[in-house]
């Protein structure tokens, strides 16, 4: 396969793609979290291992963020929510509405015996415009309801007996730089 050198430049000398190639994936960065995380935080807190950084080649490029999250709560009839964050700014969240919680995704376990044994699979897909050529970190934060001391958990059910029906899962965050 021949290597094409546009305008007689070397590959290392190319700083931008020719016009008309918008939408091409330029780089992919991915993190897989296989261990578990638990928290009783009632305000958004970083989920250890659910972050990835990317350095866009051009400020006009976009970053496609793909999150696959396995989460649960250890108490029936309680909620847990998650937000996507770029740097320190929450992105891909719903509009403010009274005292309702803004989030990228969330879940409520309605009263049902054994519902804390479930693991929810949540996905977030967001095309971001960071407008930067600096290293940019995307991460996930979570929180849970404040009463009855619930605990949200990542990569396992809320209840955790040593039994074959308990699933141990993995979660991922993937970043794709897309030419603008």
The model's confidence at residue 114, banded by pLDDT at 50, 70 and 90, is: low
pLDDT at 10: 52
Residue-wise pLDDT for 35-54, tens only, equals 999 999 999 999 999 999 99
Is 21-178 in CATH node 2.60.120.1340?
yes
pLDDT of residue 105: 95
Query: Which pLDDT score, from 0 to 100, does residue 1 have?
Result: 45
Indicate if the pLDDT at residue 60 is higher than 50: yes
Q: Give the residue from 153, 76, 79 showing the smallest Cα distance to 119.
A: 153
The per-residue pLDDT for range 127-136, each reduced to its tens digit, is 999 999 999 9
pTM of the model: 0.84
C-alpha distance from residue 111 to each of 74, 75, 76, 77, 146 (Å): 12, 9, 5, 4, 17
The strand ranges marked E within 74-147 are 79-86, 89-91, 105-108, 120-128, 136-144
Rounded mean pLDDT of 144-170?
87
């Amino acid at each position: 396969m021949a290597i094409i050198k546009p305008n007689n430049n070397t590959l290392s000398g190319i700083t931008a793609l020719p016009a008309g190639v918008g939408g091409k994936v330029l780089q992919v960065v991915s993190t897989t979290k296989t261990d578990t995380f638990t928290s009783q935080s009632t305000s958004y807190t970083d989920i250890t291992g659910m972050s990835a950084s990317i350095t866009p080649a051009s400020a006009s490029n976009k970053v496609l963020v793909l999150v696959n999250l396995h989460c649960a709560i250890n108490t029936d009839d309680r909620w847990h929510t998650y937000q996507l964050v770029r740097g320190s700014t929450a992105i891909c969240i719903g509009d403010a509405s009274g005292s309702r919680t803004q989030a990228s995704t969330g879940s409520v376990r309605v009263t049902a015996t054994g519902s804390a044994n479930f693991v929810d699979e949540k996905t977030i897909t967001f095309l971001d415009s960071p407008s930067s050529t600096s290293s940019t970190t995307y991460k996930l934060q979570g929180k849970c309801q404040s009463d009855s001391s619930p605990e949200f958990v990542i990569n396992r059910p809320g209840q955790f007996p040593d039994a074959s029906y308990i699933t141990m899962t993995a979660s991922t965050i993937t970043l794709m730089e897309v030419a603008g």
